[in-house]
Amino acid sequence: MSAQDRTSHPPRQTRGTSAASDVVVAEDALAAGDGAGGGLGAATGSGDAGTAPDFDHSESRGDARPASFARRVLSQPVAKLGFVLTGIVLVLAVLGPFVVPAWTGHTPNSFAGKPFQGGVFGTDNLGRDVLSRFLAGGWRLLLYSALATVLGVGLGAVLGMLAAFRGGWLDALIMRCGDVLLAIPQLVFALLAVTVLGPQGWVLVLVIGVTHAPRVARVIRAATAGVVAEDYVLASQMYAVPQWKILTRDVVPNIMGPLMVEVGLRLTYSIGAVASLSFLGLGMQPPTPDWGLMINENRIALSLQPWGVILPVLAIAVLTVGTNLIADAVAGASAGRVASTGPRRSRRRAAEQAASNGAESPAGGTGSAGGTGRADGAGRSSSADAAGAADVGDTGEKRS
């Protein structure tokens, strides 16, 4: 049944895409006739359903190379702001440890004076130099967050692709396990793990990565399902192309958009989660200089000596906002939001959908799947993802 269902749809679905494309051919036919008429030429074909015309089409038929994905991301002001914000904090956190004793005159853990004294940024609850601790206290957060992101997105992407590509019981098993994990909020799950295994670095990375995985898997599964339903994957199957080659050549390049969005989002959430755990006193342990822990240590004296709290809070805020802006820009670029000259309704819609998929709350996706209400929603988002993924390709080519 599904094969027929599917084939009965494409003509209508592709209508929007085909709009204007065949104008060229139609014009050829005209030229073959007597060449008169059609004053506007191919360049002004319009979207039939009232969508904006596809001017890019005729332009891109030249030799102009399509703009890279990175350039489309960067063409958005939001992305530039995001990269600047992230860059500032990154430089602080990475270079900070190297300048600490030399520049500030104190090591992070040496005593600089009485607790909560004044100074440039003053001293902390134990009389240590706030600036020194601040400069030395960022890299662990970044490292752990990055590792958790890599683990979570990697694991989630592999599971999601496998679920969509293989289908059947494996799909059901992966997604049901994901549902179970999703029912426990990320932070609560992390606390459970820390209780049992202790507040160690690898535990943080592992538990945050693992809790990301089902959320990433959902998105990637939807995106992959959209790609797998495309005929070019079926064509590769028909030509008996090895499965791994289908995955690497047909699937992965076409889900890069959603995947990059996930990287950005999960990085944002990882930073938040690692910092939150440290803030609760259950992440990095004293006397490690760490931003989250600094907030925990100094918040009692917030009114007396606010720098010990404000510096790390600012850094974390700027960092997460920066990464989230980047993620948003990537979502926009991957869904073609920035790529068309005129507002294309369908594309914009796909972009919003993709963004909403991405902007899914830390509490996780849409919960336990299975029911029709859910299946309905999942279907919607998967088709949006498919549209997004398809658009990535389209706009990728059409930008000049």
Partner 1 sequence: MILKRLGVSVFVLLAVSLLVFVFTLLLPGDPAQAILGQQATPERLAALREQLQLNDPWYVRYLTWLGGLFVGNLGTSAATGGSVNALLASKVSASLVLMVIAAVIAIPVGLLLGTWSAMRQGRASDQALTGLSLVLAALPEFVIGVVLTTLLSTTVFRLLPSVTMAAPGTHVWDRPLQLVLPSLTLILVVVPYMIRMTRTTMIDVLDSGYVEMARLKGLPERQVVFKHALPHAVGPVAQVVAMQLAWLAGGIVVVEFLFRYPGLGQAMVDAVNTRDVQVVQALSMIIAAFYVVVNLIADVIGILANPKLRTESHS
Partner 2 sequence: MRKSEQRARAEGRASVVPRATVETAIAVEHLSLGVVDGGLILDDVGFRLRPGRILALVGESGSGKTTAALACMNHLRSGLELRGGTVELQEGASRFHRKAVDLLTLSEKQMRQLRGGTIAYVPQDPALSLNGSLRVGEQIAEVLRAHEFGRNARERDARVAEVLSEVGLPSDSAYRRRFPHQLSGGQQQRIGIAMAFACRPAVIILDEPTTGLDVATQDLVLKTIYQLTTKHDVAGLYITHDLAVVAQVANDVAVMLHGRIVEDGPAEQMLRHPQHAYTRSLLSAVPDMQGARDMGGGPAVSPLASVRAPWDDGRSAATHFTADNTTPCADTSDPGSAPSEQDAAAGEAPAPTARAVTRERGAGGVVVPGQEHEPVVRLRDLRMAYGQAVILDGINLELEAGQTTMLLGESGSGKTTLSRSVAGLNDDYTGDVLLDGEVLAPSTRRRSNEQRRRIQYVFQSPFSSLNPRRSIGDSLQVPLQLGGGMNRGQRRAAVADALDAVRLGRSYIDRRPGELSGGERQRAAVARALVNAPSVLVCDEITSALDVSVQASVIELLRELQHERGLAMLFVTHNIALARHISHKLAVLERGKLVDYGPTDTVLRNPRHAYTRSLLEHVPTLEEVG
- Region 316-375 residues binding partner 1, contact defined as CB under 8 A: 316-317, 320-321, 323-325, 328, 345, 349, 352-353, 355-356, 359-364, 366-368, 370-374
Torsion of CA 230, 255, 379, 217, to 10 degrees: 130
386 is a contact residue toward partner 1 (CB under 8 A): no
d(CA 212, CA 269): 9
Looking at residue 100, the DSSP 8-state letter turns out to be I
3-state secondary structure of 120: coil
Binding to partner 1 in span 59-78, by CB under 8 A: 78
302 is a contact residue toward partner 1 (CB under 8 A): yes
Which single residue is written with the structure tokens 């709350």? Answer: 361
> CB 63 → partner 1: shortest distance, Å?
34
Site string for partner 2, 246-285 (x = CB under 8 A): ---xx--xx-------------------------------
- Helix, strand, coil % over all residues of the chain, rounded to 5: 70, 0, 30
Site string for partner 1, 76-115 (x = CB under 8 A): --x-------------------------------------
Site string for partner 2, 195-234 (x = CB under 8 A): -----------------------------------xxx-x
Binding to partner 2 in span 296-325, by CB under 8 A: none
d(CA 134, CA 256): 36
Burial of 377 (0-12, 13-18, 19+ CB in 10 A): middle
One-letter amino acid of 119:
G
Q: Which helix (H) or strand (E) holds 182?
A: helix 168-182
Q: Which stretch binds partner 2 (CB under 8 A): 2-10, 178-186, 211-219, 373-381?
A: 2-10
Which single residue is written with the structure tokens 């549902």? Answer: 179
Residue 362 contacts which entry, partner 2, partner 1, none (Cβ below 5-8 A, type-dependent): partner 1
Size (the chain), residues: 400
> Residues 6 or more apart from 131 whose CB is under 8 A from it?
104, 120, 121, 311
Which CB sits closer to partner 2, 63 or 114? Answer: 63
Kindly tell me which residue out of 234, 252, 256, 310 binds partner 1, with binding defined by CB under 8 A: 310
Binding to partner 2 in span 40-59, by CB under 8 A: 40-55, 57
Q: Got the DSSP string for 55-97?
A: HHHHHTTSSPPPPPHHHHHHTSHHHHHHHHHHHHHHHHHHHHH
166 is a contact residue toward partner 2 (CB under 8 A): no
Helices (H) and strands (E) in the chain, counts: 18, 0
One-letter amino acid of 34:
D
Kindly tell me which residue out of 157, 204, 293, 309 binds partner 1, with binding defined by CB under 8 A: 309
Torsion of CA 371, 373, 377, 379, to 10 degrees: 60
Kindly tell me which residue out of 77, 87, 342, 379 binds partner 2, with binding defined by CB under 8 A: 342
Residue 168 contacts which entry, partner 1, partner 2, none (Cβ below 5-8 A, type-dependent): none
37 is a contact residue toward partner 2 (CB under 8 A): yes
d(CA 391, CA 336): 6
377 is a contact residue toward partner 2 (CB under 8 A): no
Task: Give Rg (Cα) of the chain.
Answer: 26
Kindly tell me which residue out of 90, 241, 280, 301 binds partner 2, with binding defined by CB under 8 A: 241
Take residue 65 and report the two structure tokens written for it: 């190379």
Q: For binding to partner 1 (CB under 8 A), which residues are involved? A: 78, 176, 179-181, 183-189, 191-197, 268, 271-273, 275-276, 279-282, 292, 295, 299, 302-303, 306, 309-310, 313, 316-317, 320-321, 323-325, 328, 345, 349, 352-353, 355-356, 359-364, 366-368, 370-374, 376-377
